Amino acid sequence: MTKRASACAGALFFGVNMLDQSPSLVRNDWTKEEIEGLFDLPFTDLLFNAARVHREHFDPTEIEAAQLLSIKTGGCPEDCGYCSQSSKFDTGLKADKLMATETVLADAAKAKANGATRFCMGAAWRSPKNRDMDALVAMIRGVKDLGLETCMTLGMLTDEQASALAEAGLDFYNHNIDTSEEHYSNVITTRTFADRLDTLESVRQAGMNVCCGGIMGLGEARADRISFVHTLATLPSHPGSVPINALVPIEGTPLSMAEPVEPIELVRVIAVCRITMPESVVRLSAGREGMSEEAQALAFLAGANSIFVGDALLTTPNPEPRSDAALFAKLGLRPAASSVSKV
């Protein structure tokens, strides 16, 4: 740890804030040195402070349950090096057309019956075509009529498309930055890091909540994880949801042989996200199926308070509902009620 980073961490956790137990401030001026200092804290100190921040802003026994459906699978022209749905790679995945609205709503109803409070819909597009907007609007309105929060991830948006989705009532728009700006071109070349930030700005300007996170295990270094968190924590407003994924290697993709992120390091990322973005929902997302119960418990202790439920996440596996129920019972956790606040 550098002297400056060490001083930042010490001032944050062992100064006035810790002594008077005042609520952690929501800041958008974090420096990379401060975030480095958080990563370098002893693991138990980091978790202690992340858990304290979590309790200032959330009930630590509640976990949001979201379900994700691929409404248009495969055939994406992007070259994201981790993705089975890219047309650039031979992964054996068949491309499908956009699902019928009635089918999507039937899946949403099942998700609600199984305890989900948020229904997320993902399409493998670079960006939606205007001819598909009417169907997307109908899906949003239909899912909301079921009493579920709505989220979509459709790729890049124009300002006009963002406004149309907002007018339909879309609660969250997911558009991950994936990794650090410095490492980004090693993972994706068909769109830029700036393109992603532009879409986030369009979403914010339209009045929707931003859902934005990334994937650990893309060949990045610790410095990239620091930069990744720094980008999110210094956005004009913090994302309402921050999904943290562990890479699920897909045969046929360039990153199929990438070194997996260590569970302790993944928990560190979650803890630092919780501290730097105290009011955001932090979602333990893809890769959970391969995590032990102990690793998941540490992630919840570090401030993760959302998971995806259901048997699959787009094209990757997810723990069975009964496994989640058993783990929640062991840990004394319960599903959180639906709550949406506009940004």
161/130 Cα distance (integer angstroms): 8
Q: Catalytic residue among 151, 191, 212, 268, which?
A: 151
Q: Catalytic residue among 191, 196, 283, 288, which?
A: 283
Q: Catalytic residue among 8, 83, 212, 273, which?
A: 83
The whole-angstrom distance between residue 100's C-alpha and the CA centroid of its chain comes to 26
Active site residue 225: no
218/237 Cα distance (integer angstroms): 26
Which run of H or of E encompasses 274? helix 263-276
- 289 DSSP 8-state letter: G
Active site residue 8: no
Active site residue 83: yes
Active site residue 212: no
Q: Catalytic residue among 118, 191, 196, 211, which?
A: 211
Q: Catalytic residue among 8, 80, 212, 273, which?
A: 80
Contact present, 213 and 176 (Cβ < 8 Å): yes
Active site residue 80: yes
A 10 A CB-CB count for 225 gives 24
Cα separation values, 229 from 33, 178, 241, Å: 12, 11, 13
Q: Catalytic residue among 120, 196, 225, 273, which?
A: 120
Active site residue 211: yes
**Angle made by CA atoms 172, 179, 24, in degrees to the nearest 5:** 65
Residues 6+ apart with CB under 8 A from 105: 139, 142, 143, 146
**Angle made by CA atoms 224, 229, 233, in degrees to the nearest 5:** 150
Residues annotated as catalytic are 76, 80, 83, 120, 151, 211, 283
